Amino acid sequence: GAGVSQTPSNKVTEKGKYVELRCDPISGHTALYWYRQSLGQGPEFLIYFQGTGAADDSGLPNDRFFAVRPEGSVSTLKIQRTERGDSAVYLCASRSSGTNNEQFFGPGTRLTVL
Amino acid sequence: AQTVTQSQPEMSVQEAETVTLSCTYDTSESDYYLFWYKQPPSRQMILVIRQEAYKQQNATENRFSVNFQKAAKSFSLKISDSQLGDAAMYFCAYNSETSGSRLTFGEGTQLTVNP
């Protein structure tokens, strides 16, 4: 079946603008994760959904970042008033409750804030 | 909080040779999982191998094997018969069910395979 998909693949925006990044998880996966990977570093956890609710949003850096998963499938990461420091690759991963903690990753969205 | 450390920013190996990538971690939990992920330039994070902490036997997947030393909190990856396609960034990662299975990653090791 299809893997995790993320759109857009690349996004260039100007400082101060609003952006939305989309993640389509593997069908039937109940858990969904967002990570941020800055250049030359490992991914860092942002938020975790179990179903429709955010089970853990402790990784969101500030209140400019928000994520939703209204129907328990597709998730959108929203960033308001973007700053140059938000430039990074945003990775999404999904996991089924029966896969013994294995997360499947999407190809990421590269966000560039000019 | 859990931390994962990879002390080798870059490693290189000759094709067909063996290379070992190092990883150490810190945790107060007794039940957890450790992973090695491969990330080629395409950015797609690919799971290479996984180890459950309660298992004493080291995990193996074809040419990939780990040396898991729980007391030392060490988790190294050995790649045998290295191939050009193994060239990528490798990340060591940790998670546990108590943390909702969120992954904590190391800084990564860039592996170059020389023909």
Q: pLDDT digits over A84-106, tens only?
A: 999 999 999 999 876 566 899 99
Whole-angstrom CA distances from A79 to A19, B3, B26, B79 are 5, 27, 32, 39
Residue type, A48: Y
B100 with A95: Cβ contact below 8 A? no
pLDDT recorded at residue B67: 97
Q: Cα(A75)–Cα(A49) distance, rounded to whole angstroms? A: 9
Q: Cα(B19)–Cα(B102) distance, rounded to whole angstroms? A: 28
End-to-end CA distance of chain A: 37
Are A89 and B43 within 8 A, CB to CB? yes
Window 43-102 of B: residues touching A by CB (8 A cutoff) are 43-47, 50, 91, 93, 95, 97, 99-102
A106's tokens: 């999407």
**pLDDT, tens digit, 9 for 90 and up, residues A27-52:** 989 999 999 999 999 999 999 999 99
